Chain A
């Protein structure tokens, strides 16, 4: 596709349920990021994939959060046993792995845990 695609755009889930958020990056982009953004706040880094290297998971807030990137393309962010504090917009971005590489963002998935 022409840009980064995220699905679903909105997700309402009950507390304690698991959710999966999907990100389709721009074809050929080797870097992929997941960020979380609460209303009116900045970006909170979650995880970074770069090519075949081990992902940088240093931003994941707890072991309930995990992410995979299959075949160097599509990525899935999984949140297990969701809590109300997980409610936020989850943004995915992809970039070429070069100096000064621009990150292209999807429109995000708005997650609401009730």
Chain B
């Protein structure tokens, strides 16, 4: 069974601060996805990274896939209250098996 560990589990910061969320595993993934979930909704895909070392930017969000494709990070610059939500990483195994989700990071950005 492939496991993904996310850290921190909870994060509460002030508007304007920067933060990084980590997603780590001992397994290699063919791709890794980041989702964001707001209360009362299902998770929505933010980005997919496929190549080791890949960096993708989505406005103030920067996603990186580790060189060995075992880990990933999400960095948010100048966080805003609208960034509040549950951030989930999900890996797809090299065998093409099901998505494995991390436990999630609950981010709260205070005005």
Contact = CB atoms under 8 A, between A and B. Distances in A.
Interface in A88-114: 91, 93, 95, 97, 99-103, 105-108
Contact count band on B: 20 to 34
A50 interface: yes
A40 B103 CA distance: 10
Given A42-B101, A99-B96, A101-B92, A107 B48 contact: no
Given A43-B88, A45-B101, A48-B98, A99 B42 contact: no
Interface in B65-109: 86, 88, 90, 92, 96-104, 106
B51 to A, nearest CB: 10
B42 A107 contact: yes
B101 A102 contact: no
Contacts of B90: 103
A48 B95 CA distance: 15
B5 to A, nearest CB: 11
Contact of A40 (B48, B101, B106): B106
A64 B40 CA distance: 26
Contacts of B88: 42-43
Contact of B99 (A41, A42, A103, A108): A103
Interface of A: 4, 31, 33, 35, 40-43, 45, 48, 50, 56, 58, 91, 93, 95, 97, 99-103, 105-108
